[in-house]
Amino acid sequence: MFSFFTYFLLSALLLSASCRQPSMDTSKADRILREIEMETELENQLSRARRVPAGEVRACGRRLLLFVWSTCGEPCTPQEDMDIATVCCTTQCTPSYIKQACCPEK
């Protein structure tokens, strides 16, 4: 009788302890789910560029390449060592500046 009672008491203690402490797999899964939720919340937020209207639009990288192609119809062949990438990325370039720098014959 005493051993049955001891066995029952130890089983009850182990059961209650395991209910209070999540297993390692559960805590990892919960952590991963929280990280995924945080990432999706960050993705759904609007970027600053879309939240705040900008006064001027600057062309850098791919945007500059597309701007040159739409203005000249061909890749840029710079005149007199003009660095249009630096100029257009720091200030707003006009189509006339792009034509003068890249394709003056057009």
Q: Mind listing the pLDDT tens digit of every residue in the chain (106 residues)?
A: 556 666 566 666 666 666 555 555 667 778 877 877 777 666 656 555 555 555 566 778 888 888 888 888 888 877 777 788 888 888 888 889 888 888 888 7
Q: Identify the domain containing residue 73 by its residue range.
A: 62-102
Domains held by the chain: number: 1
Compute the distance between CA of residue 92 and CA of residue 58 in angstroms, rounded to an integer.
5
Residue 42 counted as domain residue: no
Confidence (pTM):
0.45
pLDDT of residue 75: 83
Residue 9, domain member (yes or no): no
The predicted pLDDT at position 19 comes to: 58
- Decide if 91 is inside a domain: yes
Q: Is residue 77 part of a domain?
A: yes
